[in-house]
Structure formats: C-alpha cells, structure tokens
Structure 1
C-alpha cells in the first residue's frame, strides 16, 4: 500500500479491431487499427489507510464510435478525479498511453475529439509514467511479458479459464487460428469483447452466440487478473534477477 503519500494509479486498456480478422496483425503504433473497449484501473493513495487498492473496470456499452467516445469521456473523468502522481502500466509507454491520447480524434471529428484528446494528454502527462515493462527488461531481458514478470516475482499468476464460465461463445470463430490455450489470452480479447458488445446492444445484430452475464464476468476476471498485480509490482522496482 502507499506509504509515501504518492497517488499511484495503475491502468491497462483493452481494445477491439472491428475491421481486422482474428488472424490479422495490427500495426501496434497505428491508432486506426484499434478502438478502446475497456480499461482496468487500480488506485493506491495515502487515503487508502492500508486497505487494498481500489479497482474498477470501465467498458463500452455498444459497438460504434459514439460508444467509444463515451468510454473515453468516462476514462478522462476518472483520471482527473484520481489526479495521480504516478501512472503504472506494463508497456504502457508504447501502447496504452498513446492510444488513450490519440483515439479521441478518431472517435469524434472536430472540437469534441480535439478537446477530449487535449484533456487526456494533459492529465496523463501531468503524472510520472512508471512502465513496469522497462524495469522487467532490465532485470530479466527484453521480451519479458507481464505473466513472466508475475511468475518471476511470485505474486500469484491468475488465469481465466474458459471452462469456468458458461459463456456460450464460438471460440473457434473468434480466436486466432493458432490459439491453443485453455485460458483467455490477450489475443482473444478483441473477438470476445466485440461479440459481447454486439450481443448486449439492442441497436446491433448479434454476430455470434454469447451469454452476456457469464461473458462479462469472464472479461472482468481477466482484466482484474492483470490490473491487481500492477500496484504490487510497482512497489518492488527495481526488480532483481
């Protein structure tokens, strides 16, 4: 827990790529290849009083850019409410933070997108970025993933297993063809999230079978499985081999 008075906010975004197939390789630096679909937040500050960090998940409510814009506005409001001194991510300097700053101008043309992009840029850049991926690379080598770091640091790797949920998803259709895990992996999220968003929206046709309640719980457990560790890991840097 925070003992120095530092307001520390960990975040991890989830995205969809509606114009790509599960086997397409997106350009990770091109904001046109992604849309924001959800974000996990974990906050640890002096007012926590020794309690566990506060966690929350914000998700889009439907497909379409209007829903993405609404999500970005809610994210912006939360970031300004937290006023973090530090923003903790894993590879966030490369992906999460640039996408948060750039996607508003794609979700809305003109002043609405420009103004929101400016607000997000201001609050994100007012905090110090703590990218755990950089510290992991220093200790364990480049290519070290978050799951690898969690195991190196023995903080309790959590897996979200498909068979634990009655999700009813057609996994063969929405997962990459080379997917072979019995648990949710990062490459599975775009297909799962897009199917779930269509299924929960009255104004869009279903694009595949989906049990809304169980799929939402599966997505939440997956997101929390990562975000809950970021604060703990941030207290351990620099990591040792």
Structure 2
C-alpha cells in the first residue's frame, strides 16, 4: 500500500532587492520565504490534507521558525514523493537556500539546514514542469498546464476580499496588469503589507484578516490541484 504523497509550493518576498532589478531565481540572497503551503494525499482520489504557514515576523529567526513548522508538518505525515511545479529550479532551491542564509545570519540553528536537506533527500521529487514543457512548450505556466489538462484551478478574485487592491496594477507587468484576480506578482506587495500589520499588532483588524484569507486562498490554489494534475499524465494524451 502506498505511503502517500506530498505537494509543496512556496511564496516569497524580496525586500533586499533594489526596485526594478530582476531577481536571480537560483539565488537565495534575492528572496525571503513568506509562506509555505504543504499538502498530503494518502492515495489518488483520496481527501487532501493541507496547511498554509506564514512567517510571524521579519528577520531570520521568523524565517527559520516558518521552515521549522513546515518540516514538522511533513515529518508528522507519511509520504514517498513530493509534487511541485518548478520545484527543482525554484521552490527547493529557495527552501534549502533560505534555511542556510538565515542560519548563517543568526550564527546558530544549523540543524534546520540539515533537516531540510534530509527531507528533500528522503522524498522523491515529482516536478511536473519538465513534462509540461515537453508537451506544451517552454514557459508554459502551471495554470496554463492545468487548463490544458482540464484541471480546475480556482481564481482568487480580488472582488471577493474586502481589501483595497485598486493600485495593484502599478506593480504588475503588462500581461497581468488588468487581471481581476490575485497573481503571483501581487505576493511581495501583499506580503509586505501583511508583515507591516503583523508588526504593528494589527492582527485583529479586518484588513489583516482579509489579507490572510486572500493569501491563504491563493497559496492553496497553487498546491491542491497538483495531485490531480499529476494524475492527468501523460500530458496531451486525449485517449
């Protein structure tokens, strides 16, 4: 009997990067972890168990605490593989890299780095991006792959959250500028606002609660569909 499988996705902020500068997605110095979404499914078609973890402050200690919570989540559940979309190039690189950078900054807690490495070494990586690009072409995004495979990915519609998002178009690229739903480029802006409110002790405000609800919804839509997408392989097979 299968021990189950995991799915994983990270969301990041980049407070150390100069405005207008493009990040190097392989460089953990260009990012900080903001949230981690972890999911587990005991077998195909079974109910999915998932959680979204947010960092609880700024600074390396809060980032290591975030990583710790995710590792504990994985360690408390059974799984043989971990599904991602672009995990090999980005999510795993940043997950392990940020654990190392934060530990070095603090000069302590090196054990977190070892635990991340052990977790990723133990689980078989099932990164769907490669198969998607082979079938649908380079730079095919996760949402596009799901659409081609008839896998539903619920949109995080901005109108459904009581938050001022009228100026979101200012930080988006031209492709996403007028989209009515939350997009990946919104995470650094919304994440910084989330942390501002957190540090100000404003966690009981409606704005903070709505931000958390919106960010949680968006994070889960990047992870929960991964199981169905994995089971849709071989991609492009219409039989």
Return the TM-score normalized by structure 1: 0.87
Contact 1:13 1:38 in 2 (8 A): yes
1:17 aligned to 2:14?
yes
Partner of 2:65: 70
Shift of 1:202: 3.4
**Aligned pair partner of 1:195 in 183, 193, 196:** 193
Partner of 1:226: 222
Partner of 1:176: 172
Q: Which runs of 5+ in 1 are unaligned?
A: none
Contact 2:3 2:78 in 1 (8 A): no
Report Cα offsets for 1:55-102 as digits up to 9, x if no partner.
111111122222111101111212222242101000000000111111
Within 5 Å, give how 1:20-59 maps onto structure 2: 20=17, 23-45=20-42, 51-59=46-54
Within 5 Å, give how 1:1-241 maps onto structure 2: 5-20=2-17, 23-45=20-42, 51-109=46-104, 112-169=108-165, 171-172=167-168, 175-176=171-172, 178=174, 179-202=177-200, 211-241=207-237
Other structure's SS at 2:125 match: strand
Other structure's SS at 1:103 match: helix
Other structure's SS at 1:158 match: coil
Instruction: Count the aligned residue pairs.
Output: 232
Return the TM-score normalized by structure 2: 0.88
Distance 1:6 1:38 in 2: 26
